[in-house]
Structure 1
């Protein structure tokens, strides 16, 4: 990047290559060889940096400060740990002068950072407790923190500076010398603290310069390596920042990072009109107090969140109850519209749905809502869209005209973005007071012959009237909106599942009704045929014998009782979702012969040879077992009836815990390609022409075996016959 295009945010301040006069630095590589040393190390080691570079670190340590060899080795062992847990601080003496030595591993290097120790009053544990209690009991945590830190370090001005969502900042608390102007409430633009500086504030919680006019010293390295000084306390500050402090009237400065949930929430920024050194012990105490204030702040926020969540849950329960009871979701949401707005302090609400657009409170009309909804859908893919200055940014483009809102939040309920909730807020005209006019300054550098960034010269209050912007939506308000979205989605899913379940139930009931109808018309044909033939014989024979009369009347009686039983069972079987029955022992040797006789009579195939083998008893329900064998035996006899040598065999064998029944015929058979769909209702085989039937029998068979837990296997060959195997569980 050319110098003329250089920006403050492009300055690599962690690679400045210099340290302040308050200490010196040694850096070693993974081979424990010194690869870097600050030029001013000679002032305390009585050895020029050039004689130290390239030496083994342990030899240098043993020569100048042997009692810290163990800590240096510990820092070296911690190189693989990114958390810098092995950072250690202790006091050492160099030429009879006290120093703090901080050792740590970072970026595959070991850093030894020496900083002068200055006489200072270290607060006792009682004082520390008093400071913590002052923060604990304060109405304004950050104001109390400023007072405590001002007392510890003795600076003219101590401010708590909070970052906003737009990256600008504002002084929210202050402890200032009485004769100085207050900065409380002043805003600072984003570029006053560029992005790379913010990143360093997260890595290293303290930044110090005791005298902006004091000299800095270059760090010399082997092979001109760049050294990352992100975690160095004595790193030199950016020349732009030093100029910024001078313009602000500060000769010394120190800041402590306020980290909340791993993010840079703000800074405790301290300034002093004259040069002033802050000892490491004082800085550590200030860091401790800052973290204590953060913990107290988080604790209070948690209490607020818990109270809000309690209210949200109560509201959710009421909304959920209505959503479950009511079939229509829009009327329910309409009845809760005011509460949905009040929870997030919105002035209006719109419910956009494919069926209708509903507006409540200070929301635009439905046509305007439709335009806004379509615009956001077209230009933004995220489920949630928030804009405090929507009308300013897009009002002219959308021809919104004079509307009664400034900002909005849109949350999509479904992935199609057709169902959305949109909250609206009116503008809040505010007067924002800046510490100087928030514009970047570029000055011409004669040496570089280019414009370069320059800090602002004026910090006089500059007022800005902010119009057309609504208050920002807080995290907890957005959280509420997301919860409502989830609740509606769950309700829609539940209703969808209910509709699906009802549809499935309806399909089952329709199938059952169909099966009932087909079974009545299909399976009752056999007993009806018996009754019909018996009546015909009674009508035709004038000299009927008592024996034949008795037989025919018994046939009519048995067939009638069978029909009545079948009708009752078929009805019961069809109307329930799950067929329940009490298994009984069924003696098929009493059922199957009767079925054979009836089928022979029905199809007029008295010449058909039916061989009955062992007919073992099975567990089941009598009427269903009758229907099962009726359909299989009926098919066997029917489709063999045109052969002169028609042969049917029915027998059973015990196979472990099952009884297998086999019904074999030498009829027309079934093609291999059609075996997979023989149970489809109304499905007739391609070679069944010339035989009566409707394609219902095997569909009934499949329904019965499924209900009874019977496994059915079919073997067949065209022109040679078919065999049905039925495996009944014992």
Structure 2
């Protein structure tokens, strides 16, 4: 059976309904049963295989459609059918032998009759020795490439395919061939890459759901389902888990272009994600029976588990090594009183920590650099861009020139950047730079070409060339490892702790000694009760990891790392807020005309990530302008709006109103919400440092945000008040004088 090759429109490839093709591959046939056991849907080739026309089969019970004895052998297996195909029995019908697969999906019981050449039943007894032999070949020191090569050899031995590839997907979705077993009939693709566009998103989703797929002959003519839609639901019949499911014409053309007429793929799932594929190819049509497919699927699952174990072990060792360097660097930072000098003394450790070629410290207008970095003017330009475009705890990229075009001029030293702000208010940064890493990629065909078949200039077809095509990549650095990013966040928390300690030492010399002492008492309480706990968790779980030395179970070590990460995040939040509160009383005000409408909108934009998919209705009045320090007023507004978002998390929709009015001496603003509110008996505690009116288990927070709001408003000469009804919402009101008092 040879299929014609009509023009294919690749522009709709990513929208193709591959789960509901309405047809099957013709090397078998399908009978779909209703819950009552009546045949309600068939493939149009059942007469060829079973000797009965579709019209004669529809509406009849199974035992009247196939041999009564065969129906009796199948009957015990049908009630236990699940959504994944399982082997029911081997039966002989119309002088042919069939493996019968059964699965229940989309309200139908699907029976798939696959024609086989053997006379007897499928024999699954060889599964155990195959799996056992494969496991014996693997050991804990094997690399992912070594394990993949052994799996490819085993699967080629089972299936007889000409070529078996094992490839993994990179961060951009391109497939990198790690291992290959080849009998020489087909070209080798070892070490080459297949572009992400070869597998559209909906195909990747199906690979993740259904772990194995066989195409016996790329030249097949599909057998249609009759009726075409699911007779029970009226919707197109979902064949996601059908072994005979027909595949995309685009993919069939792709196979023919590659010179393969039969293929099989086994999905490799690692940590719940599609990590890669075992892809099998044959130059001639080839059918692999269900028992052999099951053996291949089992080997694929074992390989995925061993890959996951290896990657987890390597990840843990990497994080332990980086943590040791971080601890060493932090030890050097506590030796003297001058923060910048201390940082300069540990520059070698800092470079080693981030595997960087250069680093720089920016404190206000002072810049200290070490190693291979951009010059001072370029650093100042980069910092200005970071202040305008990055508001996260860390910024990192391995393509700085693509995100900040002026950086292309110094890509040799700084194609990669890890930027750590040390202050939310001042221009304090620690920067790491990675040099350009020029590398080549060997593609299986030019991934940038789109080919038009003759006679159809507006149509696109799958690429026909798979000849090796080499691409040289410029302007990128070695990528930042997720472990480096997470440990850099911990490092930032520690730096902020050191900076906070310096700030508290200076606060002791301030004129307002009484108020400073009161805040230090609150700080001591926080260290005892809020900050000490997460830091103790970090130390404790780090000790456990160091003691295990990578020999413990990956699950336990993963749990330790998760606990460390969450504790570090909480400690970092506490220290950030404490530092911000401390700086608020010392930094000079720089009042200018402030457009409050723009300020509110910028805060709402920043809150978009916290809101996610929640429904939040913002009602913002036309707000009058004021004369104030825009940085401080924005921080106060952000704290009020962030609280409103947090305490309306149980409302759908959340409603937040921002209003403003100008009075004789003051301009008054209100922020009201329909959230959980609070008990007015405790309103006097609301603006104190580390005061919470709700349990931290219910609403996360440090109890510093509203203290910051009060300090900012009072430094402007204004006042702030709050009112609420429990369960109905809260209203915060603050006023700013129309004429600011003398401030510093």
Q: TM (normalized to structure 1)?
A: 0.61
Identify if the C-alpha distance between structure 1 residues 5 and 185 changes in structure 2 by more than 3 Å, giving closer, same or farther: closer
Quote the Cα distance in structure 2 between the aligned partners of 1:377 and 1:110.
60
What's the secondary structure of 2:436's corresponding residue?
A: coil
Identify if the C-alpha distance between structure 1 residues 279 and 92 changes in structure 2 by more than 3 Å, giving closer, same or farther: closer
What is the deviation of 1:266?
1.2
**Residue 427 of structure 1 corresponds to which residue in structure 2?**
436
Quote the Cα distance in structure 1 between the aligned partners of 2:288 and 2:384.
58
Q: CA RMSD in A?
A: 3.7
Identify if the C-alpha distance between structure 1 residues 491 and 106 changes in structure 2 by more than 3 Å, giving closer, same or farther: farther
What is the deviation of 1:134?
1.9
**Residue 668 of structure 1 corresponds to which residue in structure 2?**
none
| Contact 2:148–2:166 (8 Å) recurs in 1 | yes
Q: Mean Cα displacement is larger for which, 348-357 or 213-222?
A: 348-357
Quote the Cα distance in structure 2 between the aligned partners of 1:423 and 1:440.
37
What is the deviation of 1:404?
2.5
**Residue 29 of structure 2 corresponds to which residue in structure 1?**
24
Quote the Cα distance in structure 2 between the aligned partners of 1:62 and 1:489.
78
Quote the Cα distance in structure 1 between the aligned partners of 2:291 and 2:268.
19
**Residue 607 of structure 1 corresponds to which residue in structure 2?**
none
Which of 269, 276, 282 aligns to 2:279? It is 269
What is the deviation of 1:271?
1.0
Identify if the C-alpha distance between structure 1 residues 179 and 480 changes in structure 2 by more than 3 Å, giving closer, same or farther: same
Matched, 1:116 2:130: no
**Residue 133 of structure 1 corresponds to which residue in structure 2?**
136
Quote the Cα distance in structure 1 between the aligned partners of 2:505 and 2:61.
76
| Contact 1:445–1:451 (8 Å) recurs in 2 | no
What's the secondary structure of 2:452's corresponding residue?
A: strand
Quote the Cα distance in structure 1 between the aligned partners of 2:516 and 2:352.
47
What's the secondary structure of 1:7's corresponding residue?
A: helix
What is the deviation of 1:376?
3.9
What's the secondary structure of 1:230's corresponding residue?
A: coil
| Contact 1:13–1:197 (8 Å) recurs in 2 | yes
Quote the Cα distance in structure 2 between the aligned partners of 1:392 and 1:229.
43
Q: Mean Cα displacement is larger for which, 33-42 or 364-373?
A: 33-42
Matched, 1:409 2:408: no
Identify if the C-alpha distance between structure 1 residues 53 and 412 changes in structure 2 by more than 3 Å, giving closer, same or farther: farther
**Residue 485 of structure 1 corresponds to which residue in structure 2?**
492
| Structure 1 segment 195-594 matched on structure 2, within 5 A | 195-221=201-227, 222=229, 225-322=235-332, 329-354=339-364, 356-392=366-402, 394-396=404-406, 400=409, 404-413=413-422, 418-443=427-452, 451-492=458-499, 506-507=513-514
Identify if the C-alpha distance between structure 1 residues 392 and 462 changes in structure 2 by more than 3 Å, giving closer, same or farther: same
What's the secondary structure of 1:8's corresponding residue?
A: helix
Q: How many residues align?
A: 500
What's the secondary structure of 1:24's corresponding residue?
A: strand
| Contact 1:443–1:454 (8 Å) recurs in 2 | yes
What's the secondary structure of 1:368's corresponding residue?
A: helix
What is the deviation of 1:400?
4.2
| Contact 2:167–2:175 (8 Å) recurs in 1 | yes
Matched, 1:154 2:160: yes
Identify if the C-alpha distance between structure 1 residues 415 and 508 changes in structure 2 by more than 3 Å, giving closer, same or farther: closer
Quote the Cα distance in structure 1 between the aligned partners of 2:319 and 2:172.
27
Quote the Cα distance in structure 2 between the aligned partners of 1:506 and 1:58.
94
| Contact 1:170–1:188 (8 Å) recurs in 2 | yes
| Contact 1:32–1:58 (8 Å) recurs in 2 | no
Identify if the C-alpha distance between structure 1 residues 33 and 415 changes in structure 2 by more than 3 Å, giving closer, same or farther: farther
What's the secondary structure of 2:110's corresponding residue?
A: strand
What CA deviation, in whole Å up to 9, does each residue of 1:493-515 have, x standing for no partner?
6666888899899528989xxxx
What is the deviation of 1:491?
4.7
What's the secondary structure of 1:6's corresponding residue?
A: helix
Quote the Cα distance in structure 2 between the aligned partners of 1:366 and 1:55.
84
**Residue 104 of structure 2 corresponds to which residue in structure 1?**
105
What is the deviation of 1:443?
2.8
| Contact 1:71–1:88 (8 Å) recurs in 2 | no
What's the secondary structure of 1:338's corresponding residue?
A: helix
| Contact 2:30–2:42 (8 Å) recurs in 1 | yes
What's the secondary structure of 1:349's corresponding residue?
A: strand
Identify if the C-alpha distance between structure 1 residues 353 and 176 changes in structure 2 by more than 3 Å, giving closer, same or farther: farther
Quote the Cα distance in structure 2 between the aligned partners of 1:413 and 1:509.
23
What's the secondary structure of 1:197's corresponding residue?
A: helix
Quote the Cα distance in structure 1 between the aligned partners of 2:508 and 2:107.
62
What is the deviation of 1:250?
0.9
Which of 88, 91, 95 aligns to 1:90? It is 88
| Contact 1:91–1:98 (8 Å) recurs in 2 | no
What is the deviation of 1:136?
3.2
Quote the Cα distance in structure 2 between the aligned partners of 1:230 and 1:124.
25
What is the deviation of 1:46?
3.5
Identify if the C-alpha distance between structure 1 residues 285 and 329 changes in structure 2 by more than 3 Å, giving closer, same or farther: farther
**Residue 597 of structure 1 corresponds to which residue in structure 2?**
none
Quote the Cα distance in structure 2 between the aligned partners of 1:194 and 1:482.
35
Quote the Cα distance in structure 1 between the aligned partners of 2:45 and 2:66.
17
Identify if the C-alpha distance between structure 1 residues 478 and 247 changes in structure 2 by more than 3 Å, giving closer, same or farther: same
**Residue 654 of structure 2 corresponds to which residue in structure 1?**
none
Identify if the C-alpha distance between structure 1 residues 51 and 433 changes in structure 2 by more than 3 Å, giving closer, same or farther: same
**Residue 189 of structure 2 corresponds to which residue in structure 1?**
183
**Residue 19 of structure 2 corresponds to which residue in structure 1?**
14
What's the secondary structure of 1:112's corresponding residue?
A: strand
What's the secondary structure of 2:354's corresponding residue?
A: coil
Q: Mean Cα displacement is larger for which, 146-155 or 462-471?
A: 462-471
| Structure 1 segment 712-727 matched on structure 2, within 5 A | none
Quote the Cα distance in structure 1 between the aligned partners of 2:504 and 2:340.
19
What's the secondary structure of 2:219's corresponding residue?
A: coil
What is the deviation of 1:353?
4.1
Quote the Cα distance in structure 2 between the aligned partners of 1:403 and 1:43.
67
What is the deviation of 1:424?
1.6
| Contact 1:33–1:56 (8 Å) recurs in 2 | yes
Identify if the C-alpha distance between structure 1 residues 92 and 369 changes in structure 2 by more than 3 Å, giving closer, same or farther: same
What CA deviation, in whole Å up to 9, does each residue of 1:313-345 have, x standing for no partner?
333433444556655544444333322322332
What is the deviation of 1:372?
2.1
**Structure 2 unpaired stretches of 5+:** 1-7, 519-683, 685-744
What is the deviation of 1:352?
3.8
Q: Mean Cα displacement is larger for which, 98-107 or 247-256?
A: 98-107
What's the secondary structure of 1:312's corresponding residue?
A: helix
What's the secondary structure of 2:98's corresponding residue?
A: strand
Q: TM (normalized to structure 2)?
A: 0.60
Quote the Cα distance in structure 2 between the aligned partners of 1:98 and 1:15.
28
Quote the Cα distance in structure 1 between the aligned partners of 2:476 and 2:179.
25
What's the secondary structure of 1:13's corresponding residue?
A: coil
What is the deviation of 1:289?
1.4
What's the secondary structure of 2:251's corresponding residue?
A: helix
What's the secondary structure of 2:255's corresponding residue?
A: helix
| Contact 1:445–1:452 (8 Å) recurs in 2 | no
* Structure of higher CA gyration radius: 1
**Residue 683 of structure 1 corresponds to which residue in structure 2?**
none
What's the secondary structure of 1:465's corresponding residue?
A: strand
What is the deviation of 1:42?
3.4
What is the deviation of 1:135?
3.3
